[in-house]
Structure 1
Amino acid sequence: MITLTLRFAKGAALVVTLGLTAACGLPSSGPNKSDIFSGSVMEQGDAFVLTVDDRVNRIASITPALGFAAGFRNAGIVGSDTINAGDVLGLTIWENVDDGLLVPTGQNATVLEEVQVDGSGFIFVPYAGRIRAAGNSPETIRRIISEKLGEQTPEPQVQVRRLAGDGATVSIVGGVNAQGVYPIERPTRTLASMLAAAGGVGVSPEIAKVTVVRGNHSGSIWFEDLYDHPGHDIALRGGDRIFVEESTRYFTALGATGAQDRVQFESQAISAIEAIAQVGGLNTNLADPTGVFVFRNEPEAIARQLLGRDDIIGTQRIVYVLDLTRPNGVFMARDFAIRDQDTVYVTEAPFTQFNKTISAITGTLSAAAGVNNIVQ
């Protein structure tokens, strides 16, 4: 009897020891809720943990917008007849007198061929002096020359034409249907019309980003915004470079979701609910709907508003908590905007760990029984 009792005690001790060992080393898809909350600044951690409500949503869901600076927006529209440095012009001048300034005796007009626009953008016309040509149309140059000569000869008539030169062009590359170099003509003097001339965008319009590089400056806009808000359209300039590319923004989904993956944005804005749906929703066998977390590095200005503190310096680690079981939890998740490089993490439900523990102990019992049989 004593022998049986000792054997039972040894077997029980072995089971408990193996069970505790199994429980401590159980596999998991990541930290649980307690682990995350223990990393809070309130618990001497280095991240701020915030429950998402209407106030947090108003501050945190601001998505950085794209748009052009004033220098792009205020640029006036130019046409294909705009003269550039290096262009070659032809001038014909008529005078209504027998002894004119430029017209030879016995003729009614004089022709000045191959008048080149110098690197500073000027041309020289006898008796009219240096005339600003670059940036002006032939009509404007004609008017300026006529005014200058009109001070010395009555009612001169002037004709200006471009003999050589490429005129104003832009280059379009990237996700368009017809890349190339295009002249700025009357129908294509703005960004939207030039993109149409290039066959439109060849990537998904929802995530197409258009960038214009002009000299040392650049500006970007979403393709959809360009057409939804005509005020965002800008006038083009010769030498502009237009790049069309698909957005590279992404978020990472981890934990008890249908799939754990790095996911590209499929539209300009994605809510937390849409992000979860894109990876197959919550795993019904594992997920804890009260423990949906979004990890993000927030800039100083937004962090100060979120925390209501003026002593915040620099970018802060923020952990947003979404509880889908609350009466308005789904609405909060629907209104919470996911941003570029966010991490969406869903914790496992407590019963999942419990089941794993039971399974580990059950497996341990079987192993212990085998060991006990061997001992016997």
Structure 2
Amino acid sequence: MKTLTLRLAKGVAIVVTLGFVASCGLPSAGPNKSEIFSGSVLEQGDAFILTVDDRVNAIASVTPALGFASSFRNAASLGSDMISPGDVLGLTIWENVDDGLLVPTGQNATVLEEVQVDGSGFIFVPYAGRIRAAGNTPEAVRRIISEKLSDQTPDPQVQVRRLAGDGATVAIAGAVNAQGVYSIERPTRTLAAMLASAGGVSIRPEIAQVTVIRGSHSGSIWFDDLYDNPGSDIALRAGDRIFVEEDNRSFTALGATGSQSQVQFDSQAISAIEAIAQVGGLSTTLADPTGVFVFRNEPQEIANQLTGRNDLVGTQRVVYVLDLTRPNGVFMARDFAIRDEDTVYVTEAPFSQFNKTIAALTGSLNSVSALDSASTTLIGN
């Protein structure tokens, strides 16, 4: 009887000792499940805590899309011979008289090379005067010059050639293999063709974003979409600035995962399962698969849909709960899209906290004798 009483006393002492150690605050990777749930609006907190299901996935997994506005997409391609300010033209003029206006004696033609279109879009031709060239084709300019000269020399013949110039150009910078200023020519009138002329992108295509700045407007698109969606391959305009950069979105992984770090997106879309895999998966010795959380600030439109309310104003704090042990838990996590600035947090399993308590008390998870000694000492006191 005395032995039984002693054993019961030791058991009580062990429980008391464990409780005391646990209450002192053990090391932890972050809050546990109960501490997170205590921040719910249902517990007078300021966060909405939602278990992820098909309905939540349909609302929350919408990711911002990149694309060009209609003003970019509906712009027609520049004519291959359209003249712009800054272009250089070559003129050849034939006259049917021995003593012509422009043709030297003994020759039948005169050549005017490198006639540059000025900033206002005009060129000057002797005896024809100042002629509007920008916005016209070489054929239209030819007709204008012929009409102007026909009043002074019989039946003049005129040829107009558009030479390489710096009029219709675009600037390309960023993560391309050959940054520079490029002329818009017949083969390079669209965005994809112009990027190809610059040597293509110098980063992985999956994470390349292309931004086009046109005046005071701009638009961005994924590089891959230029080929997957032909309608996104917009026509270029003189003065366009094209910038290619690596996707700068990221999420943070904390808690009982293989590693804790800020992680850059490596594709256009990342699911919760992929996010966990990128940081080494769940820790097999610490993680609680029923406690995978995603912390996010949601705009009021999405927050109202998620909560079935219409009175929420402004950005709302939302915590999504993923239970990987549920029958469809992994599927839910696979369909849940991670967004920029999300925090993925995995709680520790209760057993790991118990192990920490034992370790803190005994110095080793295997030192059962030390625990027994500690309880005997406690009883003796």
TM-score, length-scaled by structure 1: 0.82
Gaps spanning 5+ residues in structure 2: where? Answer: 1-8, 364-369
Task: Sort the Cα spacing of 1:287 and 1:218 in 2 relative to 1 into closer, same or farther, 3 A.
Answer: same
Distance 2:151 2:119 in 1: 28
Give the paired residue count.
Answer: 366
Specify the alignment match of 1:294 in structure 2: 294
Distance 1:130 1:122 in 2: 6
Specify the alignment match of 1:51 in structure 2: 51
Name the SS for the 2:332 alignment partner: helix
Task: Sort the Cα spacing of 1:89 and 1:74 in 2 relative to 1 into closer, same or farther, 3 A.
Answer: same
Name the SS for the 2:275 alignment partner: helix
Distance 1:218 1:264 in 2: 24
8 Å CA contact 1:82, 1:167 repeated in 2: no
Residues 1:72 and 2:75 aligned together: no
Task: Sort the Cα spacing of 1:45 and 1:280 in 2 relative to 1 into closer, same or farther, 3 A.
Answer: same
Residues 1:316 and 2:337 aligned together: no
Specify the alignment match of 1:23 in structure 2: 22
Following superposition, the deviation at residue 74 of structure 1 comes to 2.0
RMSD, matched Cα: 3.6
Task: Sort the Cα spacing of 1:43 and 1:153 in 2 relative to 1 into closer, same or farther, 3 A.
Answer: farther
Following superposition, the deviation at residue 161 of structure 1 comes to 3.4
Name the SS for the 1:268 alignment partner: coil
Following superposition, the deviation at residue 156 of structure 1 comes to 6.1
Specify the alignment match of 1:181 in structure 2: 181
Name the SS for the 1:280 alignment partner: coil
Distance 2:307 2:22 in 1: 38
Residues 1:331 and 2:355 aligned together: no
Deviations 1:318-338 (A, max 9, x none): 111111111111111000011
Task: Sort the Cα spacing of 1:309 and 1:126 in 2 relative to 1 into closer, same or farther, 3 A.
Answer: farther
Alignment of 1:216-255 (within 5 A): 216-255=216-255
8 Å CA contact 2:14, 2:375 repeated in 1: no
Deviations 1:257-291 (A, max 9, x none): 11111111111111000111111111111111111
Residues 1:341 and 2:356 aligned together: no
8 Å CA contact 1:85, 1:117 repeated in 2: yes
Deviations 1:7-46 (A, max 9, x none): xx9x999977754342021111111111111111121111
Alignment of 1:107-256 (within 5 A): 117-123=117-123, 131-143=131-143, 145=145, 157-162=157-162, 165-256=165-256
Specify the alignment match of 1:259 in structure 2: 259
Name the SS for the 1:27 alignment partner: coil
Following superposition, the deviation at residue 169 of structure 1 comes to 2.5
Gaps spanning 5+ residues in structure 1: where? Answer: 1-8
Segment of structure 1 superposing worse, 317-326 or 83-92: 83-92
Calculate percent identity across the aligned residue pairs: 77
Task: Sort the Cα spacing of 1:313 and 1:147 in 2 relative to 1 into closer, same or farther, 3 A.
Answer: farther
Specify the alignment match of 2:85 in structure 1: 85
Distance 2:102 2:58 in 1: 74
8 Å CA contact 1:211, 1:242 repeated in 2: yes
Specify the alignment match of 2:283 in structure 1: 283
Distance 1:32 1:15 in 2: 24
Following superposition, the deviation at residue 349 of structure 1 comes to 1.3
8 Å CA contact 1:19, 1:360 repeated in 2: no
Amino acid at match of 2:22: A
Task: Sort the Cα spacing of 1:19 and 1:118 in 2 relative to 1 into closer, same or farther, 3 A.
Answer: same
Deviations 1:60-113 (A, max 9, x none): 11111111122222222226644332445454556789999x789x99878777
TM-score, length-scaled by structure 2: 0.81
8 Å CA contact 2:13, 2:378 repeated in 1: no
Distance 2:144 2:307 in 1: 63
Distance 1:121 1:98 in 2: 33
Segment of structure 1 superposing worse, 231-240 or 289-298: 231-240
Deviations 1:307-326 (A, max 9, x none): 22221111111111111111
Deviations 1:186-228 (A, max 9, x none): 2222111122222221111111111122232222111111111
Name the SS for the 2:262 alignment partner: strand
Task: Sort the Cα spacing of 1:27 and 1:154 in 2 relative to 1 into closer, same or farther, 3 A.
Answer: same
After TM superposition, what 4+ stretches of structure 1 lie above 3 angstroms from structure 2?
11-21, 79-82, 86-100, 106-118, 122-132, 143-158, 161-165, 358-373
8 Å CA contact 2:87, 2:168 repeated in 1: no
Distance 1:145 1:305 in 2: 66
8 Å CA contact 2:295, 2:320 repeated in 1: yes
Task: Sort the Cα spacing of 1:270 and 1:13 in 2 relative to 1 into closer, same or farther, 3 A.
Answer: closer
Distance 1:118 1:32 in 2: 71
Segment of structure 1 superposing worse, 248-257 or 168-177: 168-177
Distance 1:291 1:340 in 2: 21
Specify the alignment match of 2:356 in structure 1: 356
Task: Sort the Cα spacing of 1:203 and 1:348 in 2 relative to 1 into closer, same or farther, 3 A.
Answer: same
